[in-house]
């Protein structure tokens, strides 16, 4: 984790001291992004995909279950020790071993039904469990985005991420050209949008698209919302793209815009923008032979 990201985390903790338990979980994820082991887990791209399918669709992911279990327990353990009542219920999930691979798959797919079933089996609070589980594959997804950033489908016009299928968390209007990009908070992927469009329903009618400006902060932080589907995206005017590890923090730090959007009747869609399937299998640990000379 860079000094800049570490500083941003501290600043956010000072501004929102009540967030310290959750920021401890986020910090675990941000530190894990730098582990090169995730690069070895990146699957080959599927030979055949639908034109609207993200790159991860249909992939076969081979990962050491024991290593994945350690990361899962590390993340859930941090959350369970946060001191909040709901997060404390996650302690039961630390004893589960059979759910490691199914949990990773369900988290990748943002499969709310499967995550709820696993939470119930662990006697964990479903909402707290799903919030933490959604972060579980983030280091893997960042690794995929780093590898595949130059393999994105040409002319991608869908509202969801071309890498992992998640909905955008924010949009960036960059530079003097004011080029507009959606950003994914899970893999930090980006894709250019050539016109003002609703990411969630594809609406382009300017009469159905509205911009909400906060009372403070000028016009560099805007809520772009759709009257038809009532979805919204937070949009920031910036000189250049936010670093990959910072996208999640940009999303967190702008919670005031989320609150304003909710107060006006707008909301983020649940789940993924594109529901795809993947295969997650246990990869045997590498064995080394030692030769005596």
What residue has token string 């076969």?
Answer: 60
Please give the average per-residue pLDDT across 108-112, as a whole number. 95
Distant-in-sequence contacts of 219-225, Cβ < 8 A, 24+ apart: 221/254, 221/257, 223/257, 223/260, 223/261, 223/264, 223/266, 224/171, 224/196, 225/261, 225/264, 225/266
Question: Burial level of 118, CB count in 10 A (0-12/13-18/19+)?
Answer: buried
pLDDT the model gives residue 83: 81
- Looking at the predicted structure, is the pLDDT value of residue 28 above 60? yes
pLDDT the model gives residue 264: 96
Residue 265: which of 241, 233, 230 has the closest Cα? 230
Exposure letters 149-182 (e unless 16+ CB within 10 A, then b)? eeebeeebebbbbbbbbbbbbbbbbbeeeeebbb
Please give the average per-residue pLDDT across 26-51, as a whole number. 91
Report the predicted TM-score, pTM, of the whole model to 2 decimal places: 0.92
Beta-carbon contacts of residue 172 (< 8 Å; ≥ 6 apart): 180, 181, 183, 190, 235, 236, 237, 238, 241, 242
| 286 DSSP 8-state letter | P
pLDDT the model gives residue 287: 58
Q: What is the pLDDT of residues 151-199, one digit of tens each?
A: 888 889 999 999 999 999 999 999 998 999 999 989 999 999 977 899 9
pLDDT the model gives residue 151: 85
pLDDT the model gives residue 195: 79
Query: How far apart are alpha carbons 277 and 53 in whole angstroms?
Result: 10
């Amino acid at each position: 984790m860079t000094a800049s990201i570490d500083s941003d985390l501290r600043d956010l903790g000072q501004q929102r001291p009540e967030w310290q338990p959750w920021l401890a979980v986020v910090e675990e994820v941000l530190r894990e992004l730098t582990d090169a082991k995730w690069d070895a887990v990146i699957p080959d791209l599927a030979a055949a995909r639908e034109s609207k399918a993200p790159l991860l669709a249909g992939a076969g992911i081979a990962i050491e279950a024991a290593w994945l279990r350690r990361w899962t327990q590390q993340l859930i353990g941090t959350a369970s020790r946060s001191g909040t009542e709901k997060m404390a219920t996650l302690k039961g999930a630390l004893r589960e071993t059979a759910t490691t691979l199914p949990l990773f798959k369900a988290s990748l797919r943002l499969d709310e039904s499967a995550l709820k079933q696993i939470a119930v089996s662990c006697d964990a609070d479903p909402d707290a469990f799903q919030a933490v589980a959604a972060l579980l594959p983030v280091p893997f997804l960042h690794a995929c985005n780093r590898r595949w950033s130059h393999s994105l489908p040409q002319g991608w016009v869908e509202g969801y991420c071309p890498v992992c299928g998640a909905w955008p968390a924010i949009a960036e209007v960059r530079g003097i050209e004011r080029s507009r990009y959606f950003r994914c908070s899970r893999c930090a992927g980006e894709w250019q949008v050539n016109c003002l469009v609703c990411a969630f329903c594809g609406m382009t009618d300017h009469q159905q698209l509205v911009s909400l400006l906060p009372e403070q902060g000028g016009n560099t932080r805007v809520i772009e919302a759709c009257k038809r589907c009532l979805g919204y995206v937070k949009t920031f005017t910036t000189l250049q793209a936010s670093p990959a590890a910072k996208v999640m923090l940009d999303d967190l730090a702008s919670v005031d815009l989320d609150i304003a959007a909710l107060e006006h009747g707008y909301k983020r869609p649940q789940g993924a923008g594109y529901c795809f399937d993947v295969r997650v299998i246990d990869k045997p640990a590498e064995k080394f032979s030692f030769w005596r000379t």
